[in-house]
Structure 1
Amino acid sequence: MATKAHVVSMSAFRDNTAEHRYELDASDGKSFAEYRDLAGVRVILHVETPVDARGKGYASALMKHIVDEARSTKRRLRASCAFAVAYFRRHPDTADVQA
C-alpha cells in the first residue's frame, strides 16, 4: 500500500536556533530534527514526527528542507540518527552536503 506524500510549504520550515533544531509545521503536528554543530559540521541527532502524523512523509520533507538549507548556506551535514542515515542512503543526490 502506497502512502500519499503531503506537500508542506517552505514557510512551515524553520531553523529554531534557540532550541538547536529544525522544525516543520503541518496540520498534524510539528516534526523536528535536533542538531549539534561540531567542527563546522551540523550533526543531525534525532528526527521525530508525532505518532498520528507518521507515515505521511513529513520527516522526509523535513530532511529535504534541511538538505536544501545546507546547500544554500554551504553547510555540511552528518547523520547520527537512524532516520537521517536511512534518508541519506535513499537519496544519493545528497552526497554533496554530507560530511
Structure 2
Amino acid sequence: MTALKHDQSKQRYEVEVAPNYWAHLDYLEHNGALTITHTFVPDELRGQGCGKTLMETVLADIEANNLKVRPVCSYAVVYLERHSQWQHLLAK
C-alpha cells in the first residue's frame, strides 16, 4: 500500500512514490470540493509514473470521503481527461 499523508491545515496530500521520496498535491477546499491547484513529483522521479500514483492515491481518498474535485493544475486537468474512471468526482 502506498503511504498517504493528508494535512488539512496545509490543504496538502503527500504520497510516498518511492522509498523516502514524496510527491504532493495542493488544493483549496470549498463546499465539499477540492480545487487541485498544484502537483509536484521530485525531479529525479519524473516520467516514471509517480504522478499517476499520486493522483490515483489522492483521488481514491477523495472518493472515500465523498468529496468532489475541480482540477486547475495542468497535470490534474490532463490526468482527469485521460482517466474516465474518475469523472464522477468532478464538481459540477
> What amino acid sits opposite 1:22 in the alignment?
Y
2:78 to 75, 82, 86: 86
Match of 1:53 in 2: 45
Q: How does 1:8-23 map to 2 (within 5 A)?
A: 9-10=1-2, 12-23=3-14
Shift of 1:39: 2.8
Residue 28 of structure 1, CA deviation: 5.8
Name the counterpart of 1:4: none
The reply to whether residue 42 of structure 1 matches residue 34 of structure 2 is yes
Distance 1:40 1:98 in 2: 11
Equivalent of 2:62, from 38, 51, 70? 70
**Residues of 2 paired with 1:86 and 1:34: CA distance?**
16
Structure 1 segments of 4 or more deviating over 4 A? none
Structure 2 distance, partners of 1:29, 1:81, is 21
* 1:96 maps to 2:57: no
TM-score by length of 1: 0.83
Tell me how many residue pairs correspond in the alignment: 90
Distance 2:83 2:24 in 1: 19
5+ long unaligned stretches in structure 2: none
